[in-house]
Structure 1
Amino acid sequence: MATLRMPWCPSSRRFLAQGACQSIEDAWTLAVTLARQSNASIAERLLEYERRRQPRTTRVQAGARAIVKMAHEADPERVRVRNGRWKGMARIDPLAETSWAFVWGHDERLAAQQAPDEVVGIANAREGKRMQRPESQRAFNIWKNTFTPEDVARGHDGMREAYDRMLLSHFPVPRDVSMEKVELHGVQALRVDAAEASTDSPVVLHFHGGAYVLGSARSSLEYAHRLSAAAGGACYTVDYRLAPEHPYPAAVDDALDAYRGLLATGVPSRQVFLSGESSGGGLALALAIAIRSAGLPAPAGVFAVCPFTDLTLSDPTVQARSGDDPAAHRDSLCLLGASYFQGHEPTDPLVSPLYGDLRGLPPLFLAVAQGEVLQSDATRLADKARAGGVDTTLRVVEDSVHVFTLFPFLPEARRTLAEFADWSRERIGCAPQSLTPA
């Protein structure tokens, strides 16, 4: 009799109270998989059982470890941070339905009848999701493999390290890049010059993504270098303070100080373009509103890629598209977004620009991937801006990923940056010197 190798032993991976529930799910799925009428061998059926269960149990265990870590914080400062996050989650997810529906709302009887490719793993994307092109699948896989189970189990500390690791390992800065550490009105930033710039070239003030919790100026340098090359001028990527240690309004305050500091260096506002991707795109838009409210000279425009503009996560498509997008999904956006606004109102326009009065803002260039979770954040904001008379350009790209411009090998990334280059040069000198509230 042949010896069968058990490919994966779920009972050895149980963690805390979820162990009993997961064991029941395991037993049901194992029984259904073995009993199903099929020509598959026992070994093949056990491998199918592994495909069905391992992604889910890995996700549950990592999440359970993260919650236990969060609940048992002892350091007073980390307790303050944790409680602030929970206050924020109580505003947009009071019954934890978003955060833990994948556990409490799961029915393994139904799941066992679905294809194994429908299983949602630790990246919150269905295991069988495939893109149309090899290059977009490559980008999808990079996002999908950003966080290991150990990263997730360590909470935002582990996720922060993993996010920078992903960007720095996949997109290192070319050795010949001219980079300088600068301080803009007390805010740290990195200046990148990709080309000889004339005195009237666009200057980019960039804000990295990461849902206000992850990311850094250092890990955004490669993208900042390409922004600089596209604009033909310097790009300043800003190290604004991150949540949950520094909740709202820390990021907006830093962004506004960085803008003031850039103007103080002698760069005319009419040459400055605010830029950001994901939460950085939302921050760039919030900064444009703050600049208008403060009566400061207006920038020439805002370039926001896949911007996070509605931290209430109230649009139905956010839930409907979770599982398609490994970079941005409702579960993680709820946790990270709440870590930022905490006890503050999430519909404040400086938190969620979608709820602001957009009239009188500088020209906007918005880009987003078709079908991603934050598509509606970009399209709804574009509609509202146009209704308010704002010069608005919107690009929706097909078969791509969240923040596709981060991936230099994607044709749509090169095409969008080329469009930004033309768009920004056309608008040099066209923006008014100051904006006043409508």
Structure 2
Amino acid sequence: MASTAASASPPPAGWASDPGVSAPLRHVRAIIADHLTHGPTDPTLAQRRAWRDALYDAIALPPDVVSTPVRDGAVRGLWQSSPGARHDHVLLYIHGGGYEIGSVRSWRVISAVLARRMGVRAFSVDYPLAPEAHFPAPVDNVVAAYRWLLAQGIGAHDIVFAGDSSGGGLTAAALLQLRMLGLPEPAGALLISPWLDLTNSGKSIDDPPGYDPFNPRAGLESFAHDYLAGHPATDPLASPLFGDLHGLPPLLIQVGGDEALLDDSVRFARRAGSEQVAVTMQVWPHMFHEFQAWAPDLPAASAAMDDAATFLDRALADAR
């Protein structure tokens, strides 16, 4: 069983109090540092999942967001809606967590806020996690959720995808699978701090531009091992970086400037652009992994969410 340190590591002294960054960023870093410093010792998998969820559970949702669980055959997830949200447009959200931790409950802080800013409903997919489930079960589950939305009469051009971390990689993998199956593609997709290369060959993993408390190499390798269960990491549905990206819908990639996974985004954006995909990449200085979750407290996170909402709104309009 992986230890707490395998999936996150306590930050060094001075990270939270760095005078070179803004006061709001120091505040959020202090919250993260306190959480990571007081994690459980040699936890069970259930404890690791609960511990990571607790970090995001502390972030308040807008009070007008209504969440409704869904269980319909193999499709499980969470509808999120705010007053006035359009029901004919849907944000299909895929949470992160290394394919092993994370949940629609804890990552709802991104999906709900983003959908609220867009004025649409969000459906967050509750896909099966490793080690109970292995590749390609999550990919198949996301595709099943997309088919489920289509079967309800929601047009492909009225759906956009978004995902963070492993959920960002899973978003890209699902897009590749949709193309293989001949299904209509959604209007566009947002990849937040995506993990796109499960071979972990990005140079920034071992030499990140800044301190990344969430993605030590040991954690990424442990997650990949448990998820792949012996399957080649170079399979494009596991590592979309190695896929044929021609024909993908417009993409926005947002990544923090301090992230270990920065190279995944840079290499994927370069490849997508060379294969005639309309791709925009934003690198946010000094930001950490999945910083968008802290939009209520962090101005850069709010600005990133505004940009993401604008991009996805435009993708929906252009697909008409």
TM-score normalised by structure 2 residue count: 0.91
**1:163–1:152 distance in 2 versus 1, CA, 3 Å:** same
CA shift digits 1:260-317 (9 cap, x unpaired): 1111111111011111111111111111111111111110011111001011111222
Q: Secondary structure at the match of 1:188?
A: strand
Aligned to 1:126: 12
**Would the aligned equivalents of 2:193 and 2:262 in 1 still touch at CA under 8 Å?**
yes
**1:340–1:225 distance in 2 versus 1, CA, 3 Å:** same
Aligned to 1:256: 143
CA shift digits 1:331-351 (9 cap, x unpaired): 211112221112111111111
Q: Secondary structure at the match of 1:234?
A: strand
Distance 1:124 1:221 in 2: 24
Q: How well do the aligned residues superpose, as a CA RMSD in angstroms?
A: 2.2
Q: Secondary structure at the match of 1:321?
A: coil
The question of 1:279 aligning with 2:155 is answered: no
Distance 2:125 2:35 in 1: 23
**Would the aligned equivalents of 1:184 and 1:259 in 2 still touch at CA under 8 Å?**
no
Distance 2:141 2:24 in 1: 36
**Would the aligned equivalents of 1:133 and 1:399 in 2 still touch at CA under 8 Å?**
no
Distance 2:237 2:161 in 1: 15
The question of 1:142 aligning with 2:28 is answered: no
Residue 48 of structure 2 aligns with an amino acid whose one-letter code is M
CA shift digits 1:308-329 (9 cap, x unpaired): 1011111222111298111222
Aligned to 1:157: 46
Question: Mapping of 1:312-327 within 5 angstroms?
Answer: 312-321=199-208, 324-327=211-214
Question: Mapping of 1:36-51 within 5 angstroms?
Answer: none
Distance 1:332 1:347 in 2: 19
Residue 67 of structure 2 aligns with an amino acid whose one-letter code is M
Residue 143 of structure 1 aligns with an amino acid whose one-letter code is I
Q: Secondary structure at the match of 2:32?
A: helix
Q: Secondary structure at the match of 1:163?
A: helix
Aligned to 1:378: 265
Aligned to 1:171: 59
Residue 224 of structure 1 aligns with an amino acid whose one-letter code is S
The question of 1:216 aligning with 2:95 is answered: no
- In the TM superposition, what is the alpha-carbon distance from 1:250 to its structure 2 partner? 1.4
Aligned to 1:207: 94
Distance 2:11 2:219 in 1: 12
**Would the aligned equivalents of 1:308 and 1:374 in 2 still touch at CA under 8 Å?**
yes
Residue 126 of structure 1 aligns with an amino acid whose one-letter code is P
**Paired residue for 1:416, among 304, 309, 317?**
304
- In the TM superposition, what is the alpha-carbon distance from 1:429 to its structure 2 partner? 4.9
User: Which structure carries more relative contact order (alpha carbon 8 Å, separation 6+)?
Assistant: 2
The question of 1:268 aligning with 2:158 is answered: no
Q: Secondary structure at the match of 1:287?
A: helix
CA shift digits 1:36-87 (9 cap, x unpaired): xxxxxxxxxxxxxxxxxxxxxxxxxxxxxx56x9xxxxxxxxxxxxxxxxxx
Distance 1:184 1:299 in 2: 22
Stretch of structure 1 that moved more, 137-146 or 218-227: 137-146
The question of 1:309 aligning with 2:196 is answered: yes
Residue 159 of structure 1 aligns with an amino acid whose one-letter code is R
Question: Mapping of 1:372-411 within 5 angstroms?
Answer: 372-408=259-295, 409-411=297-299
CA shift digits 1:67-119 (9 cap, x unpaired): 6x9xxxxxxxxxxxxxxxxxxxxxxxxxxxxx7xxxxxxxxxxxxxxxxxxxx
- In the TM superposition, what is the alpha-carbon distance from 1:142 to its structure 2 partner? 3.2
The question of 1:363 aligning with 2:272 is answered: no
Question: Mapping of 1:222-261 within 5 angstroms?
Answer: 222-261=109-148
Stretch of structure 1 that moved more, 124-133 or 247-256: 124-133
TM-score normalised by structure 1 residue count: 0.67
The question of 1:294 aligning with 2:181 is answered: yes
The question of 1:186 aligning with 2:69 is answered: no
- In the TM superposition, what is the alpha-carbon distance from 1:148 to its structure 2 partner? 5.7
The question of 1:430 aligning with 2:318 is answered: yes
Q: Secondary structure at the match of 2:111?
A: helix
The question of 1:333 aligning with 2:220 is answered: yes
Residue 142 of structure 1 aligns with an amino acid whose one-letter code is I
- In the TM superposition, what is the alpha-carbon distance from 1:199 to its structure 2 partner? 5.7
**Would the aligned equivalents of 2:160 and 2:316 in 1 still touch at CA under 8 Å?**
no
Aligned to 1:346: 233
Distance 2:44 2:208 in 1: 24
Percent of residue pairs identical: 33
Distance 1:175 1:230 in 2: 14
- In the TM superposition, what is the alpha-carbon distance from 1:416 to its structure 2 partner? 1.5
Distance 2:71 2:151 in 1: 11
Q: Secondary structure at the match of 1:349?
A: coil
**Would the aligned equivalents of 1:203 and 1:233 in 2 still touch at CA under 8 Å?**
yes
**Would the aligned equivalents of 2:177 and 2:237 in 1 still touch at CA under 8 Å?**
yes
Report the structure number with the largest CA radius of gyration: 1
**Would the aligned equivalents of 1:212 and 1:336 in 2 still touch at CA under 8 Å?**
yes
Structure 1 gap segments, 5+ residues each: 1-65, 70-98, 100-121, 433-438
Residue 249 of structure 2 aligns with an amino acid whose one-letter code is P
